[in-house]
Amino acid sequence: MILWNLERPTYRELDLKIRTARRLLEMKRWAPADPVKLVANFTDLDLVLPNEQENALRKAVSEIRAEHYAGGRPPTKSYEPATAGAEMFAFVWDSKHFARRMYFKFSIRGQGAAQRLYVYSLHSSRPLGRGV
């Protein structure tokens, strides 16, 4: 059982998380895990208007793939008040849309109509040792 945890998340699990994140964004069922941090990320990317920000999230989710996973094995759990205990999924990839290497981290909480995508980070990837 311990070996199973070290192998998580599987490719299949990641693919499902990404597809669910896409669906939730399309349904506008998403929220920032920490609004202040996410606004700072959007500001750094020069994304001021809400539609620009949401479009950027859609582009990020459309570009990431399971093989871009850069998070913990097993996934790290959130300490943010809105998502405490939720598993976080982080991805690093070379983005065509942003024309740079990017970092995107999210979690998914709830079931059915209460299910939400929580976004922690969307920013340029940082060198190891400086945060991802």
Q: What is the CATH number of the domain that holds 26?
A: 3.30.2310.40
Domain residue limits at 63: 2-124
Concatenated DSSP letters of the chain: -HHHHHHPSPHHHHHHHHHHHHHHHHTT-EEESSHHHHHHHHHHTT--SHHHHHHHHHHHHHH--GGGB-S-SSPPBP-SGGGTT-B-EEEEEEETTTTEEEEEEEEEE-SGGG-EEEEEEEEE---TTS--
Q: In the predicted model, is pLDDT for residue 4 greater than 90? A: no
Per the CB < 8 A criterion, the answer to whether 89 and 76 are in contact is: no
In a domain, 101, yes or no: yes
Query: Which residue matches tokens 């620009």?
Result: 52
Q: What is the pTM of this model?
A: 0.91
User: Which tens digit of pLDDT belongs to each residue from 61-98?
Assistant: 999 999 999 999 999 999 999 999 999 999 999 999 99
In a domain, 129, yes or no: no
Six-digit token string for 97 = 């849309």
User: Which tens digit of pLDDT belongs to each residue from 25-50?
Assistant: 999 999 999 999 999 999 999 999 99
Check residue 126 and give its pLDDT.
86
